[in-house]
Amino acid sequence: MSKIIAFTNQKGGVGKTTSTANIGAGLARAGYKVLLVDLDPQINLTSGLGLTEAEFNVYGALLQEYKVKAYPIQDNLALIAGSPALSSFEKVKGDELDREFLLKDLLEPLLERCDYVLLDCPPALGLITLNAYACANALYIPLEAQLYATDGLEKVLEMVTRVQRRLNPTLVVGGIFFTRFDPRKVLRRETAEVVRDKYPDLVLTSTIRETIALGEAPHLGQDIFTYAPTSAGAMDYGHLVQEILTR
């Protein structure tokens, strides 16, 4: 049975999609069968992995317009494409019975074929994110070490507590990790220390440095290991993958 991991933060622009793509690619390179699911209406995960014309997407599958389709990206790595129409999911399905478990039901038949399912959540704590939390085994929270960074973190942790109580008692927070990290900047270091002091059991050792290659790779539809295998970004995500595997 596969493990479902959601990458989430209420704040946008923290490297959530970049992390989903590169951690997924890192796990696939380590020999695990990985399925990525793009739940963000911006569909940056889908386009950033080079899937530009997907006839079938997660939104249509959730609406039962067709069966769910996973597109192969590389060896051991497949993707369920996202759709801009996901922004209307709450309006369309908000009154439906068991609406929080629609994603869980959709993914259930696929789990026996995967080792890991990685969910790229939207930067909002709406019904799509609630569906992700309801079916996930663990959440990982990418965080930028800057002013107000912890605001989104607090809201995510509050929602996790509610989900654990009402929908998914086995859900755990796997960890928090820093992205776009520059240890030379005093504010980044100080903010990171504040978060580490407040959540000593949650903050991971691995950090993702800010590098040009991480921004360039999606424009070519590639993960960092394919685009720049010797870069700092590839090294950092490699370490992060190993740390996730040991938790």
Distances (CA, A) of 2 to 33, 50, 151, 205: 9, 25, 32, 25
**What are the tens digits of pLDDT across the range 184-206?**
787 778 888 889 999 999 999 99
d(CA 58, CA 38): 8
pLDDT at position 191 is: 84
- % of the chain residues with pLDDT over 90: 82
SS3 of the chain: CCEEEEECCCCCCCCHHHHHHHHHHHHHHCCCCEEEEECCCCCHHHHHCCCCCCCCCHHHHHCCCCCCCCEEEECCEEEECCCHHHHHHHHHHCCCCCHHHHHHHHHHHHHHHCCEEEEECCCCCCHHHHHHHHHCCEEEEEEECCCCHHHHHHHHHHHHHHHHHHCCCCCEEEEEEEEEECCCCHHHHHHHHHHHHHCCCCEEEEEEECCHHHHHHHHHCCCHHHHCCCCHHHHHHHHHHHHHHCC
**What are the tens digits of pLDDT across the range 79-114?**
999 999 999 999 999 898 899 999 999 999 999 999
d(CA 102, CA 245): 28
- 9: pLDDT strictly greater than 90: yes
Distances (CA, A) of 92 to 83, 85, 148: 14, 10, 33
pLDDT at position 107 is: 98
Domains of the chain: 3-245 (3.40.50.300)
Single out the residue of 8, 6, 93, 83 nearest to residue 42, CA to CA.
83
Residue pair 25/223 in contact by the 8 Å Cβ criterion: yes
Q: What are phi and psi of 147, to 5 degrees?
A: -55, 140
Using pLDDT thresholds of 50, 70 and 90, give the confidence band for residue 51.
very high
**What are the tens digits of pLDDT across the range 59-73?**
999 999 999 999 999
Single out the residue of 122, 168, 175 nearest to residue 9, CA to CA.
122
User: pTM here?
Assistant: 0.96
- Work out the burial of residue 232: count CB atoms within 10 Å of its CB; fewer than 13 is exposed, 13-18 middle, 19 or more buried: middle
In this structure, the strands spanning 3-7 and 138-144 are: parallel
pLDDT at position 36 is: 98
pLDDT at position 188 is: 78
* Average pLDDT score, the chain: 94
pLDDT at position 53 is: 85
